[in-house]
Amino acid sequence: KFCDFVKIVEVGPRDGLQNEKKILGHSIKIELINRLSMTGLKTIETTSFVSPKWIPQMEDNVKVLQGIDKKSGVDYPVLVPNLKGLDNAIKAGAKEIAVFGAASESFSQKNINCSIGESIKRFKEIIIKAREAKIKVRGYVSCIAGCPYEGDTKPSIIANISASMLELGCYEISLGDTIGVGTPKKIITVLNEMKNVSVSRKLQEFAIHCHNTYGQALANIYASLDCGIRVFDSSIAGLGGCPYAAGASGNVATEDLLYLLHGESLTTGVDLKKIIDIGDWISKELNKENQSKVGVALLAK
Ligand code: HMG
Ligand code: MG
């Protein structure tokens, strides 16, 4: 039997905003993160220390990371692609980072401008230095259910990269369905392959990161729960996307994920009502329709 507690990694301030055309002021981002910190969430991905030429929305990373009220018991990880990003993140006071790779050569080139092999070398340098600085490192592997440039990706490649990243010192690997093409059968196949590299054989080192482009995110999450996954990434109001994954829409909405998990009698410690209010507010700030079905339904009541 798997445990009844599910951890949610809120990626709205990072994944949710990185592809938004409208550049939000840092004070709005700070308000977003501060409000999310009051909902019971224990991990809020805050910003990225990537090149502002590649991702202009994250240019204010220092202001955001230094401007938020860091609530005790909440982690505020930031994305880091190279040593320059790590140095900047350390200077800005980051205590946790995430490195990000992919199961597809083309996506790796488009997203971080290097091959998979080179990316592993970079991760090694980053992780050694991060651990010296007592910084925790999470890892992402993108394109686990398909790549926007190459189509299908192989579970064995996903497993190899995940194994390398775990060996280098990532405490968890978040498996990203970057373009939301997966269906439960595919996700279960991938997760079964991951059991071979999971030290516990129970997938305790893995999380799932579902984009909802094809509306399959909750089905895939439900299937992952059955396989033992107990950490899910999601984004307030279903915001999200990646500029290097054309057509990729938002992440699964945190509101929708909470509704599913609570309906299944699983515990998250997160207050759905507060999350819905934040989702409504940030959607208005972005002049966007709220992409959470649960948010829209409960706000209309
Ligand atoms: P590059 O152009 O090869 O880097 O980019 P470079 O080392 O040749 O440097 C070029 C310029 O960028 C230089 O400036 C550097 O100083 C600067 P210049 O001399 O031209 O003025 N630079 C930086 N500036 C600030 N911070 C840095 C940094 N590094 C270099 N860290 C690089 C390589 C990796 C930097 C670039 O490709 C990049 O920033 N990529 C990030 C792309 C990104 O953020 N993608 C979205 C996140 S991943 C995602 O969304 C997927 C995920 O959600 C999971 C899923 O859904 O599957 C995680
Ligand atoms: Mg993503």
Q: Across residues 35-52, what is the average pLDDT?
A: 98
Ligand 1 pocket, residues with Cβ under 6 angstroms:
15, 18, 48-51, 53-55, 79, 81-82, 84-85, 88, 100, 111-113, 140, 142, 176, 178, 209, 211, 242, 244
* Cα–Cα nearest to 240, from 179, 192, 161, 166: 179
Task: Please choose from 14, 20, 51 the residue to mutate so as to test ligand 1's pocket, defined by most ligand atoms within 8 A of CB.
Answer: 51
Which residue, judged by its Cα, is nearest atom 46 of ligand 1? 242
Residue 244: predicted pLDDT:
84
Q: Across residues 264-284, what is the average pLDDT?
A: 98
Does the predicted TM-score (pTM) go above 0.95?
yes
Cα–Cα distance, 153 to 160 (Å, whole number): 12
Categorize the per-residue pLDDT at 189 as very low, low, confident or very high, splitting at 50, 70 and 90: very high
Write the ipTM: 0.98
Q: Examine the pLDDT at 1 and tell me if it is beyond 80.
A: no
Q: Across residues 65-92, what is the average pLDDT?
A: 98
Sequence-ordered strand ranges (E) for the chain? 7-10, 43-44, 47-48, 78-79, 96-102, 136-142, 172-177, 206-210, 231-234
Residue 248: predicted pLDDT:
73
Q: Quick one: which atom of ligand 1 is closest to the CA of 81?
A: 34
Q: What residue type is 263 in one-letter code?
A: G
Catalytic residue flag (residue 242)? yes
**Span from the CA of 59 to the centroid of ligand 1 (angstroms):** 11
DSSP bridge pairs for 232: 8, 208
Question: What are the strands of the beta sheet with 136-142, ordered from one edge?
Answer: 43-44, 7-10, 231-234, 206-210, 172-177, 136-142, 96-102, 78-79, 47-48
Q: Examine the pLDDT at 247 and tell me if it is beyond 80.
A: no
- pLDDT digit string, tens, across residues 102-142: 999 999 999 999 999 999 999 999 999 999 999 999 999 99
Give SS3 for 99.
Answer: strand
Residue 251: phi and psi, rounded to 5, are: -75, 165
Q: How many CB atoms lie within 10 A of CB 176?
A: 27
Q: Give the percent of the chain with pLDDT over 90.
A: 95
- Tokens found for residue 186: 């595919």
* Cα–Cα nearest to 52, from 83, 26, 85: 85
Which residue, judged by its Cα, is nearest atom 29 of ligand 1? 51
